[in-house]
Homo-oligomer: A and B are copies of this chain.
Amino acid sequence: MISLLTPPMPAPALLHELGAPTLAAIEAAAERIRSHAVRTPLLESPAINALTGARVLFKAEVLQQAASFKFRGACNRLLQLTPAQRAGGVVAWSSGNHALAISAVARLLDMPATILMPSDAPSTKIDGARRNGATVRLYDRLHESRETLGAEIAARTGATIVPPYDDPYIMTGQATVGLEIVQQSQALGRVPDAVLAACSGGGLVAGVAAAVRALSPATAVYAVEPQGFDELARSLQSGQRERNAPGAVSMCDALQVAIPGELTFPVNRALLSGSLVVTDDEVAAAMRMAYAELKLVVEPGGAVGLAALLAGRLDVRGKTVAVVLSGGNVDADTYARILQPEA
């Protein structure tokens, strides 16, 4: 069990140089997406508070449009497009939540969207992107490069490529999660001692860290990753972007990248307290806890923060901890299986 530890707050000039979203930019993003995105509630459970000995505040991004925080970044990014770019549409690649978010925002803004998705993505995510009106092109994760396919489509159609995390507007959009966490905690008379957010490419946790630590420098922000995809944990230790070994398997379909983001890693390195790693069994237990005590459907990748807390990765007794429940898109058969571990 790790004690909370907060690294010193870097000087604003250094943060700027590293590409961290500024508070002014985050506040502007919040205003920009306000009429489209949900200001998701901060929820808590007496049972989970009792279990952890902490006051745990859950930022329920499963209640966001398209059921994940990805909507914020997608919305902030697509609202920056010029009229000409809007007409050309967008192309994106995603295992799922970015696909759902981009397709939902494109529909709102009446733009064409083409999404590349791995053929083994959860069907609820593939079907959802199609229902949002996007053209979905499935690719073979092992034998095709989504970057190459995406660049071809962009060249052919004039569409703008919208990357899932390595983009300043995406990172700044995700940062609005952190802004709201601090605002909503303050409304409860609290400042979080720690904030936990899932990490794949690192856009969410980088944005959250930028917002939270700008407003509360003493708050410790932790990434949480699934076993086998702990690239950030290892990269933070070595000081450089480390790759995951190929062939790893995790139930967290949303959190599988090869290497930390190029733009997100410097921000995370400067602001995070660390990255916690959880197992599939711990994730499943957290999903069951969210079902039983919060009545929220949380997908595997969305439950890693709660999993880390329940598994005792951090010593949070007596503390106030905010946990982002980042997404809720999980196939019903998978969810039903996870709810009944003994069946």
Binding site for B on A (CB under 8 A): 38, 41, 43, 46-47, 62-63, 65, 67, 104, 124, 131, 288, 291-292, 294-298, 328, 332-333, 335-337, 339-340, 343
Contact = CB atoms under 8 A, between A and B. Distances in A.
A332 B339 contact: yes
A150 B289 CA distance: 33
Tell me the number of copies of this protein: 2
Contacts of A297: 291, 295-297
B328 A333 contact: no
Contact of A46 (B41, B62, B65, B288): B65
Contact of A296 (B296, B332, B336): B296
A295 B65 contact: no
B65 A41 contact: no
Nearest to A41: B41
Nearest to A291: B297
Contact of A43 (B38, B47, B104, B343): B38
Given A291-B332, A333-B340, 8 more contacts: A41-B41, A41-B63, A43-B63, A291-B335, A292-B332, A295-B298, A332-B339, A332-B340
Nearest to A335: B339
The 9 closest A-B pairs by CB, nearest first: A295-B328, A336-B336, A62-B295, A295-B297, A332-B339, A336-B339, A41-B41, A336-B340, A67-B295
B295 A332 contact: no
